[in-house]
Amino acid sequence: MTNAQITLVQIDNYGPWTVTPEPRREVDLQTLQSRLYADLSQLIGNRQGYVFFTRFDNMVAVTNGLSMDDHALVQESVANRYPVTVSLGVATGTSPVQALADATEQLQDAGSAQDKSRREILRGRTIDEEFRTDDDIQIAHFDVNDMTGNFTDEVNAFDSFIHIEQGYAELMKYMREAHDSLSFFVGGDNVIAVCPELDEAEYEDAIRHVRETVEVELKVGVGNGRVPQDAGMAAKHALETCRADGSNVEFQ
């Protein structure tokens, strides 16, 4: 059984900050957001975790292996280098969706995301070392088949992107509703999902659903691990097997 540790990263009071005293230059906001995400990728990634940009003002991380102290250090490091601070809610569970719901509640209970006085909250709990197993994380790496040949090299860049976005919007919703999974667009034509223990038939089902609903052809590699980095790398290798064998679903 999986046991995901999920962290919600929320920029404190960010909406009001973006327009105080006047609307800030969009290019600076974009730079700030994407660099903060890049830094979190390194801060969390260096501890074997994964973080997804999601909305940028709310990011979701898979943090098995990170202690509350590690979280505190990430929080401190952001405060030392950015004009904004972040709050962190941490929760665990066999269902990634439930874990994220619990993590979200940790922050909601502390006040509104746009409450001026709610800053640098750090709440929740991590998995006790003794309960951690090598199958705590299941990661699925989805990818569109021959995106380059069918789209990137053929139609205009926005229509290519619409194709990917329609696939992603459908996949994220279906995986959440049917399979309790959290799916994140990670650039290109790739989506990475954090899943409970799903089997081959369930992945086939999701791929079929997306094909039938929005005509996007996916393949997926699946990996398990004690930490996100191991599960994610196994998923990537499984995806390479899909590529080599022409299959749709592969487990590593």
* Residues of this chain, 18-77, that bind a second copy according to CB under 8 A: 19, 23-35, 37-39, 41-47, 50-51, 53-58, 60, 73, 76-77
Q: Is 133 in the site for a second copy (CB under 8 A)?
A: no
Which one of 124-132, 164-172, 196-204, 244-252 is the stretch in contact with a second copy (CB under 8 A)? Answer: 164-172
The rounded Cα 41 to chain-centroid distance in angstroms is: 11
Q: Where are the beta strands (DSSP E) in 34-100?
A: 50-52, 58-62, 86-93
Task: Count the alpha carbons within 13 Å of 209 in the hemisphere toward its beta carbon.
Answer: 18
166 binds, among a second copy, ligand GTP, Ca ion, none (CB under 5 to 8 A by kind): a second copy
Q: Is 166 in the site for a second copy (CB under 8 A)?
A: yes
Which one of 43-51, 73-81, 183-191, 223-231 is the stretch in contact with ligand GTP (CB under 6 A)? Answer: 183-191
Q: Are 121 and 204 in contact (CB under 8 A)?
A: no
Containing 224, the helix (H) or strand (E) segment is strand 218-225
The only residue of 186, 211, 226, 233 in contact with ligand GTP, by rule CB under 6 A: 186
Residue 189: CB minimum distance to Ca ion, A: 5
Q: Is 189 in the site for Ca ion (CB under 5 A)?
A: yes
Q: Is 18 in the site for ligand GTP (CB under 6 A)?
A: yes
Q: Is 175 in the site for Ca ion (CB under 5 A)?
A: no
Q: Is 29 in the site for ligand GTP (CB under 6 A)?
A: yes
Residues 99, 127: Cα–Cα separation, whole Å: 12
Torsion of CA 106, 53, 44, 91, to 10 degrees: 20
The only residue of 76, 134, 146, 215 in contact with ligand GTP, by rule CB under 6 A: 146
- Measured in degrees and rounded to the nearest 5, phi and psi for residue 55 equal -95, -5
Q: Are 88 and 121 in contact (CB under 8 A)?
A: yes
Judged by CB under 8 A, the number of residues near a second copy is 89
Residues 137, 50: Cα–Cα separation, whole Å: 11
Which CB atom, from 22 or from 130, has the smaller least distance to ligand GTP?
22
Binding site for Ca ion (CB under 5 A): 143-144, 147, 189
